Amino acid sequence: MSNLGKFMLGIAIAASLGSAVFGFLIATKKSEYSKQLASAEVALKAAPAPITYTANYKLNQREPAETINKYNKEIKSTQENLISTKKQLDEKETALTASQVKVSQLTESETRAKDEAQKAKADLEAANTASAAVNEKLKAIEASLQGQDPGQLIADLSKIKEDLKINQDQLKTSEFENKTLVSEVQRLRQLEENRDQKKAPPDLTAKVVAINKPWNFVVLDAGTDKQLVEGIELMVYRGNQFIGKVRTVNVDNKTAVADVLSDWTKVQIQVGDRVLF
């Protein structure tokens, strides 16, 4: 055999081997796919589906894909129905909750109405009792009148009340006037005591409001309203410095005239200087 014949024979053998191997691989894959399809059909037949699986992929190459797609459509439809049903249930639950709230409110209103009715009944019974008591008192008053005119009695009573009010007002006025007189008497007694003892209240404080240099006297902003009287010697200060003395000679209600005591005063007194007892 020539070399060319040997080469061609080798190629033919290699091709045969390749075809055998390729066929073996295809047969193996086909067997695996057949097993997978068979397993899928077994699983579909065992599944608790509403439609029983009775197909055979060996008789119908579109199986089990057709059945699975059919089931998927039914499952999707079922899911959509479930979503719709759940939405309806939620709406009904919301409506039920609202109804329960209204029922609760109505129950509370009914309870309040019953309580108010019971209170009104009790008030009515109390009013009837009070009315009966008033009627009894009226009967007793009518019996005590012994035929006298109630209108005239009421008029007389009103007159007595008016007279009593006038007397009370006069009494209050008299009491006020008496207190005023007592206060004035006490004030005058205190002023007389201050004159006798040549003193003024320890807390007396005043200011120089005017000066008459030719006649050597000053005017103070304090008088009998502060229990100041004539003949009282007072000390004059400027700040904390003692600068002299004055003696009151004429005192009215709000002011006093005081002579400057030259022996005690070495500095000219000025308006605004403080005067203390």
Q: What is the pLDDT of residues 132-179, one digit of tens each?
A: 776 777 777 667 666 667 677 677 777 777 777 776 776 676 566 656
Average pLDDT of the segment spanning 51-73: 71
Q: Say which residue, 44 or 241, is predicted with more confidence.
A: 241
- The whole-chain average pLDDT of the chain stands at 77
Model confidence at 243, pLDDT cuts 50, 70, 90, reads very high
Angle at CA 258, nearest 5°, toward 256 and 261? 165
- Taking CA atoms, 208 is separated from 113, 199, 258, in Å, by 81, 19, 10
Cα dist. 172→71, 89, 165, 177 in Å? 110, 85, 10, 9
Q: Helix/strand/coil (H, E, C) string of 132-168?
A: HHHHHHHHHHHHHHCCCCHHHHHHHHHHHHHHHHHHH
Question: With 80 as the cut, is the pLDDT of residue 265 above it?
Answer: yes
pLDDT at residue 257, rounded to an integer: 97
pLDDT of 45 strictly over 90: no
pLDDT digits (tens, 9 = 90+) for 76-129: 777 788 788 788 878 888 877 876 777 677 677 677 867 777 887 887 788 778
Q: Going by C-beta distance under 8 Å and a sequence separation of 6 or more, which residues neighbour residue 243?
A: 236, 237, 265, 266, 267, 269, 273
